[in-house]
Structure 1
Amino acid sequence: MADNPLPDGRDEPGVRIPPPLIFTSFLLAGLWFDSPWFTGEMTAAWQMGAGGIWAGLWLGLIIVCFLDHLASGTNVEPWRPTTKVIQSGPYAWSRNPIYLGMAGFCEGIALMGASWGALIAVIPAMLVIHFHIIKKEERYLAAKFGDEYLDYKARVRPWL
């Protein structure tokens, strides 16, 4: 495949904003909107526990994906070159397990903070991720890896 798949010769998808920053921005805006945390109050123990477990499970997925990237010798950061299409582990059932994990993590924090605003904010965060990050990544991967990526894309769903 092409060594420099983008027209300007760069070997990266052109992502400029780190995805965790996008999720964090929407999460904080949602928490600010209606979480008792911003008035100095605590939330119920069950909310803290359930939200913590939910967030922890999704954080575990993110860590597994990060370790898969390390083991495969490819970059996890979407602004750096991808050297391999990972098709095993969580990537065997989702093309975007890290973003899925980030969304689930935010849901857990929203539950911990008793915040409908933060829970709802996951939706626009995912839309920004989809249209401004994933679309760039998919164009880049198709240009760089060709049929290997296109076959993977046809076989594996973007989310679950």
Structure 2
Amino acid sequence: MNAYRAKPLNFPWPPFIYGAAVLIALALARLVPIPVAKGHGWFPWLIGAALIVLAISLDLWAVKSLLDRRTAVLPHRCATCLVTCGPFRFTRNPIYLGYTLLMIGLGLVTVNPWFFIAAIGAVALTTLFAIRKEERHLLSRFGFEFERYCRHTARWI
């Protein structure tokens, strides 16, 4: 099988990576709580809620952009089109960015610092195990067009 027909991933790892990160953050909050100063009030909760809404909106916008172009949404399917519109104008990975913002928002709403640490780990693992393979797939499928897109659009933000 040539690189043009190869799938980017054999399994859709990113949703599972972020799901595991959420579970780990919740478990660590119970097992090894990090003390947080009391009296934080409503401000972190409000910022966290706003980030959660932003994250969900970003994910939905990205999925809609992919569906509008009739290309794969799941990361283990071959791309049929290079999508550079919608949120993909600002970041090459808006869905993963949405997952990360969701974790940060959950950390603020629940006042659980483990969410921030788990989000950093999820970003690193997603970049290592998924994004690099997806980028190789897109490069093999779209060549110069993908290179030009990469030069003008950041991987994350």
- TM score, norm. by length of structure 2: 0.85
Find the counterpart in structure 2 of residue 109 from structure 1: 106
- Deviation per CA, 1:84-129, whole angstroms, max 9, x where unpaired? 1111111111111111111001111111221111111100110000
Give, in angstroms, the shift of residue 31 of structure 1: 2.0
- Please state whether the residue corresponding to 1:108 is helix, strand or coil: helix
- Residue 124 of structure 1 pairs with residue 111 of structure 2: no
Paired with 2:154 and 2:145, the residues of 1 have a C-alpha distance of: 15
Question: In the alignment, residue 68 of structure 1 is paired with which amino acid?
Answer: S
From 12, 15, 19, the counterpart of 2:7? 12
**Quick check: 1:5–1:143 contact (8 Å CA) kept in 2?**
no
Find the counterpart in structure 2 of residue 77 from structure 1: 74
Give, in angstroms, the shift of residue 49 of structure 1: 4.0
Q: Higher mean Cα deviation, 24-33 or 71-80?
A: 24-33
Find the counterpart in structure 1 of residue 26 from structure 2: 31
Runs of at least 4 residues off by over 4 Å:
none
The unaligned stretches of length 5 or more in structure 1 are 39-43
Number of equivalent positions: 149
**Quick check: 1:5–1:144 contact (8 Å CA) kept in 2?**
no
Find the counterpart in structure 1 of residue 130 from structure 2: 133
Paired with 2:41 and 2:19, the residues of 1 have a C-alpha distance of: 23
Find the counterpart in structure 1 of residue 48 from structure 2: 51
Find the counterpart in structure 1 of residue 154 from structure 2: 157
Paired with 1:122 and 1:100, the residues of 2 have a C-alpha distance of: 10
Paired with 1:109 and 1:14, the residues of 2 have a C-alpha distance of: 28
Paired with 1:121 and 1:51, the residues of 2 have a C-alpha distance of: 16
Please give the root-mean-square deviation of Cα atoms over the aligned residues, in Å.
2.2
- Residue 146 of structure 1 pairs with residue 138 of structure 2: no
The unaligned stretches of length 5 or more in structure 2 are 34-39
What is the aligned-residue identity percentage?
29
